[in-house]
Chain A
Amino acid sequence: MNAAVQLLMVVGLAAAGAGGTYFAKGPPVRTLVCDPATLKPGEICLEQVQEPVVWIDARPRKDWQSNGLPGSILWNLDGAEDAAAFEAEAMQKLFENPKAVVYCSNEDCGVSQQVAEKIRKLDPDFDVKALRGGWQALKDAGRIKDSSGTP
């Protein structure tokens, strides 16, 4: 048996195993799993959020308007936006409830941590966290109906 045939057999067996697993167990679970033990400082898992909190969307305005969490307010770092207006609106909301969770698009966006830091500078007593997994985590949890969003 030559090398090519052996390789084909290996690939074929692997494919058969994968197909069998798919058939028996169904498609792989693609929802985000948030392990509190792996959180960075200032982050929170969706399951840990104790509402009511002020939800802050750190994505571009068009995404927030299209599929932001209902009741959320916008605060992104877009240079074209009025940063003072974001700050004033957040301050007014946090005056009523000093707990906030900021989300951006997904695990990698990083903007939520930067916005959370700006809020802490307004008042170090504010309890503000960045949501691990961002908008995608909210969507996976069924909190957002629209399927569109920034990749």
Chain B
Amino acid sequence: MKRVIAVWLGVAGMAFAGKLTFPEPVKELKAGPDETKVKVDFPFTNSTDKTVVVKETVGDCSCTSIEISGGKTAYEPGESGVIRLNFDIGAAVGKVEKGASIWVDGDPKDAPSQRLTMKVDIPVLVEMEPKTLKWHVGQEMEAKTIKFQMHGDKPIHIKSVTPSTENFIQELKTIEDGRSYELVVTPKNLKSKALSIFRVETDCEVSKHRTQQVFAVVSPPVAK
């Protein structure tokens, strides 16, 4: 009976053995403000006693691409390789998480055996708070303010603010030239719902930070 158990454990061990071992499946990095692409390498080792073949790799979006060391997909026991995850940053800012799913031979279609994740911190050069100004129909009229803080080495100036509708009155105040601004917004009336999208044009040298948008909303009365 002991031999039966030993054979059984051996078979089960082979069936459920780990596949590719990644010491660091999650990695964090910081991107420069004008960087358009970043890449992260994920080293791995075949820690099983049989050849493992990488069958498929799928990134989270079309902004990611995946490379395997030299295009090699089959790894002998003990052999190591690297999977590189490339991320096209595009217009993304702030903390962004991107990943890839890795299928090796024997993985079910809906269950990749490995997930790789990169956490990228992309500097915010134009910070706006709040993003949306809000009033309710019937409330007392008051002006509200969005604060702009410019970050980075060089000053960033607001060149223009263009609303999508005529429902609000806006005034741009310079608090510190190239560093700090306030957009003061007042609804023309609070009798009905209204929405306006304000496009804020700056002279930021990094194109993806150049145009921003904020919102002003008059919502229905709050239910009592």
Residues of A bordering B, CB below 8 Å: 2-4, 6-7, 10, 60-62, 76-84, 87-88, 91-92, 95, 98, 106, 108-111, 114, 121-123, 125, 150-151
Contact of B7 among A4, A60, A114 (CB under 8 A): A4
Q: Are A78 and B63 in contact (CB under 8 A)?
A: yes
Residues of B bordering A, CB below 8 Å: 1, 3-4, 6-8, 11, 56, 58, 60-63, 87-92, 96-99, 101, 109-110, 112, 115, 131-132, 134, 193, 195, 197, 211-213, 215, 217, 219
Q: Are A79 and B4 in contact (CB under 8 A)?
A: no
Question: B61: which A residues are within 8 A, CB to CB?
Answer: 60, 76-79, 111
Contact of B4 among A7, A92, A111 (CB under 8 A): A7
Q: Are B7 and A3 in contact (CB under 8 A)?
A: yes
Q: Are B89 and A88 in contact (CB under 8 A)?
A: no
Expressed in whole angstroms, the minimum distance between the Cβ of A63 and any Cβ of chain B is: 10
Expressed in whole angstroms, the minimum distance between the Cβ of B183 and any Cβ of chain A is: 16
A-B contact pairs, 26 of them (CB 8 A): A3-B3, A6-B1, A7-B7, A60-B62, A61-B62, A78-B62, A78-B90, A79-B61, A79-B63, A79-B91, A80-B88, A87-B213, A91-B195, A95-B195, A95-B219, A98-B219, A106-B110, A108-B115, A111-B61, A121-B131, A123-B131, A123-B134, A123-B217, A150-B58, A151-B109, A151-B110
Q: Are A6 and B109 in contact (CB under 8 A)?
A: no
Q: Are B92 and A79 in contact (CB under 8 A)?
A: yes
Question: A82: which B residues are within 8 A, CB to CB?
Answer: 91
A83-B90, A84-B211 known; 16 other A-B pairs, CB under 8 Å?
A3-B3, A7-B7, A60-B61, A77-B60, A77-B92, A77-B96, A79-B61, A79-B91, A88-B197, A91-B197, A91-B215, A106-B110, A110-B60, A110-B97, A122-B131, A125-B134
